[in-house]
Amino acid sequence: MAGSTREVVTLQFGHYANFVGTHWWNIQESSFCYDTSSSSSPSDINHDVLFREGLTLTGEQTYTPRLILYDLKGSLNTLKEDGTLYDVLEKDDEVHWMGDVTLHTSDTSGKNQFLKDLERIDKGELPTEEDASSAGTEDSHDEVQEATPHSSINPLEVFRSKLYNLDNSVSVWSDFLRIHLHPNTVSILSEYAHDPEQDMFDVFGYGQQLLGTQRVSADLEDRLHFFVEDCDSLQGFQVLVDPYNGFGGLASEVLEQMSEDYDNKGILTFGCYPSVYVRRSPIVDYHRLICTALSVTKLSANSSLYTPISVASGLGREPGPMASFPYLTYNPSLHYHTGGILATALDTCTLPYRTRSDGVLMTELTNTLNYSGRKMAALSARLPFPITLDGALAASLSQFVAAPDLVSLCPGVREPGRTFMQSVVLRGVPPNRVRIPDPAAHADSIFRDCRSANECLKHYLQYVFPGTLNAGTVVNEPLTVTTPFPHLFNPEITHDGMVGFKPRSAVQGVEKVPGMTSLSSQSGLQGSLAALHAEVEKVDIRRFHRFLDAGLEEDDFKEAVESLRQLARAYQTSDNEMAEDSDDDSD
């Protein structure tokens, strides 16, 4: 590991957070270059920030995320809790019987075609050219659709060339997990079972109580120490959490403890909200509302920066309308789809502290955005960033000057309002697609003299956000969206992410796309938080005995509601203050 690497440890709490996280790790792994003889230039992205090298006891080299994830019993499907990296060792250690042995093979019928193919590659069974060009059977929803045969077989390349349709065969996040996990990564909370139809882990205090048990507390301490002590220069923690159930309580307690133990490290937390909930009833919706309100106040207090993310537009009982992307078509009811969209935004917005050069520390990023007590941020994105086949970055940004067109992924924030400060990341723009082809025809463009993507982004931010503290980052690497990323891109998007003039072939997938994100402190958060406060302020917590039985005091709930009001006021400007007064007058 390079001496300049500043490591980050990631924690994931909850089933939907693990959907988002699985996509995130898959995206990163799909961009790894395993061919050390390649003449291509080194990646801008330093994967050692989030991944660690290791050795099994048999000397096999591993490269796994510095990751601790929590989920409930029954959420792993075919994935073993301790992974598969040490399977051989366990077999060697456990078999002592010298008599006849009957070999029982595990049933893999629960695995979709993607996992079966991945298992074959792990076993060293090389795919054949027939595998690469085979078509799925009519009654199989996850078979290979089609791919182009390769003259020389590279297992990973053949694997990546397959087009899987996993929409009907993904029920849990491990159904599309591409990477290996370290044995210290997965922690299952056996006290509660994963059941989308009957979620019993829906009370904030249940998570708080779990950390109070010796088993969970000691387990967390052991796992955290393992990954932290493995770091040479830890810069902080990334946290993904389901804030709408008991995982919000568990994460809040963990972060409170971490903020004391690692007070000089950054803690960047993302609250992950699904767009559609399986269970809907008045009592269930109120439980989510109460958990959300408690999570927002607790997680923002114990994080360096807290950002709620979703393709849905509401933080309250109703998820609201879904975000619309010009070149994407997705199913809001599939975590597999929405988690993929959120993961692309996370992978992009976190690049400033994961690059090899010209990067910043996580604490520098969070301290810039949480100025003046504003410890929440809003995330918006454009996927893909639109560049036509005959166009250029400068031309695309010229359209954004007239109407900034990033799509909000922050529930409750649809109109950005005033942006106080922001970190904008642009990635994946080919060097030959930067300059306007005919500058003379665009003499009045602010980008006419720009010769690099960095110059274009700088001019764009200065012109569109003149009163904002802007930080811009440009990374050459595009988002890699190969297998098993879902097929979300409209037909006009080419295999390399450009906006084409005719539909791509139905048997050709999109492999990589440019993208753009903004992580910002902005006045739009005031409306989101004020709406949440107005809804939760009407709740009589005495009617929700399960919260009280789990340790929530009435005074503590009232204090959380007041904290939410104060948090909303931190983002208030004269404009939205007038709008708020107008709303009050109309009541």
Which of 280, 295, 195, 203 is closest to 241 using CA atoms? 295
Rounded to the nearest angstrom, the gap between the alpha carbon of residue 149 and the centroid of all alpha carbons in its chain is 33
Asked if residue 302 belongs to a domain, the reply is: yes
Q: How far is CA 134 from the centre of its chain?
A: 32
Q: Exposed/middle/buried for 555, CB within 10 Å: 0-12, 13-18, 19+?
A: exposed
At 97 the pLDDT is 42
Q: Both 89 and 117 in a single domain?
A: no
The answer as to whether 368 is a domain residue is no
Report the chain's mean pLDDT, rounded to a whole number. Answer: 87
Which residues make beta-bridge pairs with 268? 238, 305
3-state secondary structure of 403: coil
User: pLDDT: is 354 or 585 the higher one?
Assistant: 354
143 and 173: one domain? no
Q: Cβ of 6: how many Cβ atoms within 10 Å?
A: 20
pLDDT band at 86 (very low <50, low <70, confident <90, very high): low
Query: In the chain, pLDDT over 70 holds for what percent of residues?
Result: 82
Domain boundary among 136, 165, 194: 165
pLDDT score recorded for residue 87: 54
- Give CA–CA dist 432/439, Å, rounded: 14
- The count of C-alpha atoms lying within 13 angstroms of the C-alpha of 55, restricted to the half-sphere facing its C-beta, is 3
For residue 575, the Cα-to-chain-centroid distance in whole angstroms is: 32
For 294-315, what is the mean pLDDT?
A: 97
**Who's near 519: CB < 8 A, 6+ residues apart?**
307, 349, 365, 369, 377, 378, 379, 422, 423
Q: Which of 143, 165, 187 is the last residue of a domain?
A: 165
> What are the residues whose beta carbons fall under 8 Å from the beta carbon of 1, sequence distance 6 or more?
48, 52, 53, 232
Q: Please indicate, yes or no, whether residues 171 and 222 belong to a single structural domain of this protein.
A: yes
How many domains does the chain contain in total?
Answer: 4
Q: Is the pLDDT of residue 549 over 60?
A: yes
Q: Which residue has the higher pLDDT, 116 or 82?
A: 116
pLDDT tens digits, one per residue of 107-123: 444 899 999 988 888 88
Angle of CA points 333, 339, 344, to nearest 5°: 140
Residues 280, 500: Cα–Cα separation, whole Å? 41
What's the domain range around 545?
527-586
- Whether 410 is in a domain gets the answer yes
Query: Does the structure show a pLDDT above 60 at 337?
Result: yes
- The long-range contacts involving 326-332, CB below 8 angstroms and separated by at least 24 positions, are 326/386, 327/383, 327/384, 327/386, 327/489, 327/490, 327/492, 327/493, 327/499, 328/383, 328/488, 328/489, 328/490, 329/488, 329/490, 330/486, 330/488, 331/167, 332/275, 332/276
The pLDDT value recorded for residue 574 is 67
Terminal alpha carbon distance of the chain: 61
Phi/psi class of residue 226: alpha, beta or left (left: φ > 0; alpha: ψ in -120 to 50)?
alpha
pLDDT tens by residue, 364-414: 999 999 988 899 999 999 999 999 998 999 989 988 886 778 999 999 998
Pairing of strands 234-241, 469-475: unpaired
User: How high is the pLDDT of residue 34?
Assistant: 65
* 65 and 199 together in one domain: yes
Contact assessment for residue 362 and residue 239, using Cβ atoms and an 8 Å cutoff = no
Q: How confident is the model over 214-230, as pLDDT tens digits?
A: 999 999 999 999 999 99
Same domain, 423 and 516: yes
Residue among 70, 59, 350 at smallest CA distance from 211: 70
